[in-house]
Structure 1
């Protein structure tokens, strides 16, 4: 992926793939190491924050799904306080092999999801890039299926799997790009009152069948495979979005660049759905409202949207205290 435009962040530390090793370059295979050219190269980027419980299953599932790929796993830990980096180091020692290499960078402070993801992607080079949340567990054929679909059509820039709840039920994960009216429908409960309505629940696609392949606007960013031809055009995530909507923004930029985004239910992954986010729910609600405002400011900048942006911003700020109260 193209460089974010800065070197290694001064507030991170690089860890080698063996305990006690020196800090290493964050983006390149060690000099002299070779992997068969027939293996497609995949850069997997993971941002962790207090993810010690989830990251074991995540990385072990990735190891099983990575057969047939040359994989570099770039992990940025956002100053976890539950021993997540130590768990990752143990897993690196357990799982590393010639075609599966790990790099861990520790941030001294919580950088937020978007900045940390950009750090994980900075300077990385691969045939494709996988954004992976630490609470997502891949099936053995998930990566192979996504890679096949990504290469069936040269216009495909992103492909996403069907996400499952831990009980095996389908987790709705595709959305249309939000419009101003969607905030109104969410705030006053109309989207929940009429969950299958194309009008009142258009944003969260209550009318969509998650059992069929389709071209969509924005699959959930918990697990996305992005072809290098799209990543090289679009560049890094927009850091004006601290925690939320950077994936929505990225998908809009991919589509604006002329690429398609596909949802492929034949590829599956289990998603615990915001395990880390729920541990700090009130702060995450604040950030989601702020990033939502920034989304409308960016994508509806014209004067004719000024009133709609003002009303939407006012509504988001009005309902924020209520959501914070209910989140206690």
Structure 2
């Protein structure tokens, strides 16, 4: 046996399926065995492997012992001359295994090998080649010197930026996403250190390989797609903490006491710095434009008040008291911007129509309140109207200016993203196009054929060789590759060639309803059934939460009357407080069918589900699954209200 491929999986069934499809193709060129170690996934990963890949050697753990333990389980049972640790969120080229095994055979000094990795848009991943994170290297990275001078031999050691990414080179650290090692080397230096639960174990083992007298190589003559981070959210504070704690374990194990203490100090500083920066950035992103809008509106109200006062009031011996500017105007502005918030005016991308709609909603609210407040607080309605008009002009104006300047937060790419090209055979492209058209409102779906015969088919807009021109002429925003018809090498070639087109790329695996993609190197991969996420859109999430709160308060106020309409009265009271404190929501999915093929956006546990709208019917799990899908895809507040009305007696469930 030449090669043992080991994949540790945790709740990424669809990524694992696509990975195993590519591994199956690659093992046609080398004598290999494939191991999958599942760490107690709940997404039917084990069942999928048993059903679709019966030849795979499967270890199904009953708990999650961690990445290192799981890999070691399979390594100990493996029979290959070489062992490859492979992430489930990867796709390998058809000749990847043959090329890397041939290289190792030709280089007896090689203990480990990594390959060129690209993300889901074809962008090179710098962690394909890394240096040892000594205290100095860690310092340069933490304080940004590595980013400022990436090609420096002094400051750029973390990602070895001074080495050509297209050339084979000796490196210090391999990436755990693709880590090929000689079994003989592992027998000598030991397996993965099980002290590391996740992260750091690849650095530790890479270092021990070099200490054992072997070399690690970066080998760019084959490539893999690494979607990066479906299993973990790498931008989160918890990821930063876990990753850097792993670095501390590494330092204490391999560095002197003095170096380890210095390294630990740096790492702890980095944790708090990154966490603080992450929180500050999140807050700033949320409040910057509302605060800017408030300032612009206040300036307008102030200038209008000054003009109005000097032109009409002062000559008559009157003026506005300080109360007006200090309290009344801020209240006006809060109501106006509250309207903008509720209509989605602060959801990215920022859109002028939503702003206008929100300001209109706000001024109507102010004028209604104006008629109800005491006379001594009723200041000029003309100023209210003029101030709001100033808001329409000024806030819309700077949004248009930023949109013309190309600021991404103000550019609405939805129209372009709804123009999709599907690349593959006519039969498979039509299957994928059918999925898209059934579950996503698109302005255009064009098929891209593979040969001249395809050009004559309906809806074919060109051939694969013309893809760059097709994207430009038809203003395509998303290209979906049919994995059934296209090799991984061809897909990666296309992604890299079209990097500057500003297009999203996704892959439709054979016989699957899932479509897999990665929008950027900084975003964790997204796996979805096209557009089932209406319920997770910011405006809908906000409105759903407001409805939950409003209904909970209403139910509390009317409890002595309505409690007699509910079957489980104690459960109803408990549910009111659970929803009020965000532990539940009044309506969510039917959980009995939540393990469906389609991955739906996350919702809190619901008191009711879409099936409660049909209380007199006995619905099958398949029907309830479809109702879940429709609920997620076509979500509206009125849908929740209808379900609650029809299933009111079950609010104590």
What's the TM-score bracket when you normalise by the shorter of the two chains? 0.7 to 0.9
Matched, 1:72 2:26: no
Q: Specify the SS of the correspondent of 1:130.
A: strand
- Quick one: structure 1 residues 199 and 73, their matched pair in 2 at CA, closer, same or farther if it must change by over 3 Å? same
Q: Specify the SS of the correspondent of 2:180.
A: strand
- Quick one: structure 1 residues 178 and 293, their matched pair in 2 at CA, closer, same or farther if it must change by over 3 Å? same
Q: Specify the SS of the correspondent of 1:175.
A: coil
Residue equivalent to 1:215? 170
**TM-score (ref. length: structure 1):** 0.79
Contact 1:242 1:287 in 2 (8 A): no
Residue equivalent to 2:4? 43
Alpha-carbon displacement from aligned partner over 1:28-62 (angstroms, at most 9, x marks no partner): xxxxxxxxxxxx43111111111112111100100
Larger Cα-atom Rg = 2
CA positional deviation for 1:307? 4.5
Contact 1:113 1:243 in 2 (8 A): yes
CA positional deviation for 1:306? 5.2
- CA–CA distance in structure 2, aligned partners of residues 266 and 283 of structure 1: 35
- Quick one: structure 1 residues 233 and 77, their matched pair in 2 at CA, closer, same or farther if it must change by over 3 Å? same
Q: Specify the SS of the correspondent of 1:50.
A: coil
Residue equivalent to 2:83? 129
Alpha-carbon displacement from aligned partner over 1:253-274 (angstroms, at most 9, x marks no partner): 1111111111111122111122
- Quick one: structure 1 residues 199 and 125, their matched pair in 2 at CA, closer, same or farther if it must change by over 3 Å? same
Q: Cα RMSD between the aligned structures?
A: 2.2
Q: Residues 1-328 of structure 1: matches in 2 within 5 Å?
A: 40-93=1-54, 96=55, 102-172=56-126, 173-278=128-233, 281-300=236-255, 302-305=256-259, 307-319=261-273, 321-322=275-276, 325=279
CA positional deviation for 1:211? 0.5
- CA–CA distance in structure 2, aligned partners of residues 121 and 310 of structure 1: 31
Range with greater deviation from structure 2 (48-57 or 201-210): 201-210
Q: Specify the SS of the correspondent of 2:53.
A: helix
Contact 1:187 1:319 in 2 (8 A): no
Range with greater deviation from structure 2 (112-121 or 126-135): 112-121
- CA–CA distance in structure 2, aligned partners of residues 306 and 129 of structure 1: 31
- Quick one: structure 1 residues 183 and 319, their matched pair in 2 at CA, closer, same or farther if it must change by over 3 Å? farther
Contact 2:135 2:259 in 1 (8 A): no
Residue equivalent to 1:6? none
CA positional deviation for 1:71? 2.1
CA positional deviation for 1:190? 2.5
Question: Greater helix share, 1 or 2?
Answer: 2
Residue equivalent to 2:544? none
CA positional deviation for 1:105? 1.8
Contact 1:282 1:327 in 2 (8 A): no
CA positional deviation for 1:282? 4.3
- CA–CA distance in structure 1, aligned partners of residues 252 and 203 of structure 2: 14
- Quick one: structure 1 residues 91 and 319, their matched pair in 2 at CA, closer, same or farther if it must change by over 3 Å? farther
Question: Gaps (5+ residues) in structure 2?
Answer: 283-653
**TM-score (ref. length: structure 2):** 0.41
Range with greater deviation from structure 2 (261-270 or 272-281): 272-281
Question: Gaps (5+ residues) in structure 1?
Answer: 1-39, 97-101
Alpha-carbon displacement from aligned partner over 1:272-304 (angstroms, at most 9, x marks no partner): 12222228944333211211111111111x244
Q: Specify the SS of the correspondent of 2:28.
A: coil
- CA–CA distance in structure 2, aligned partners of residues 90 and 326 of structure 1: 47
- Quick one: structure 1 residues 88 and 282, their matched pair in 2 at CA, closer, same or farther if it must change by over 3 Å? farther
- CA–CA distance in structure 1, aligned partners of residues 23 and 198 of structure 2: 24
Residue equivalent to 1:34? none
- CA–CA distance in structure 2, aligned partners of residues 54 and 103 of structure 1: 18
- CA–CA distance in structure 1, aligned partners of residues 116 and 50 of structure 2: 30
| Number of residue equivalences | 281
